[in-house]
Structure 1
């Protein structure tokens, strides 16, 4: 059977309309409100390959310690630990202050002053059992003699591990200028 050009266009338009209706009603291979229509699997195939997901180690970093403010001096004593289940090669703890530090500060070798209100310290390796924590002690000089200072402690970098319990490594402590130790 030979179709004229006009007849071929009508047949083509009808087929396109039917495909559009089918796609709308069936959702490109899925019936609306029904289970997906199974697609044929090539002979010898074992089915779809699951998406690749790399295994990410899990650690539980914690930071605890105390802060003390006296005159222009601010002391921060900190213990960073890992409660597992995986060992941690390294991490960075961030300390932010509500009052600016004066000029350059003397810091332990593993710490640096990022800006006037932030200090970063690397912890080094932390074993999963929490037995080999990293202690950091800072004695900082503040600009002026504030009545109080707020210190925020958190993990700036954790080596790419998953930490499902970030509450024990994020703290905010208010230290009035009493010279007393305020624990976090």
Structure 2
């Protein structure tokens, strides 16, 4: 079993997200609560070369309310290597998943830049990368078109933007 050191904020976000998904505190999955409204978006790029997946993301909030913190999820279509050197604020959430806290996002502002370098268990000619919000800090987000992305990355080293 691999032990991953993470900052306290990520652990809190992951635990709260798990409670929300399980129906705790009277709320459902991300975006289903009756909290303040926000419009979280993710923009970035993905590149795959020789079994190594590089992802750079910038979370943004178009409002109308600030978001104190959120957790985004990155899922890939191939198994990740057992050992990963993850960025601060990120944690392994499964064989093919990583979650990262966004940090606070003010109204019409950005969260922290998130950079991941993920090693695949085995090289693959292509990988599908899915990015979405796992927990949104209790905010309601009615526009999921800008925070749910699916990117096909070919093992060419080319960069794909989302």
TM-score (norm 1): 0.68
Pairwise CA distance, 1:133: 2.9
Listed as ranges, the gaps of 5+ residues in structure 2 are 1-32
* Equivalent in the alignment of 2:107: 128
Report the equivalent of 1:6: none
Shift of 1:56: 2.7
Largest Rg, 1 or 2: 1
Following superposition, which runs of at least 4 residues in structure 1 exceed 6 angstroms of deviation?
A: none
1:122/1:103 CA distance change after superposition, 3 Å: same
Cα distance in 2 for partners of 1:55, 1:116 equals 32
Name the count of aligned residue pairs: 130
Instruction: Tell me the equivalent position of 1:183.
Output: 161
**Aligned counterparts of 2:140 and 2:153: Cα–Cα separation in 1:** 31
1:173 equivalent to 2:132? Answer no
Which structure is richer in relative contact order (CA contacts within 8 A, separation 6 or more)? 2
Residue 74 of structure 1 corresponds to 53
Aligned to 2:129: 151
Residue 91 of structure 1, aligned match among 70, 81, 95: 70
| Cα gap change, 1:152 to 1:55, in 2 (>3 Å) | closer
Taking structure 1 as reference, are residues 142 and 84 closer, same or farther at Cα in structure 2, changes over 3 Å only?
Answer: same
How many angstroms apart in 2 are the aligned matches of 1:133 and 1:141?
25
Q: CA deviation at 1:166?
A: 1.1
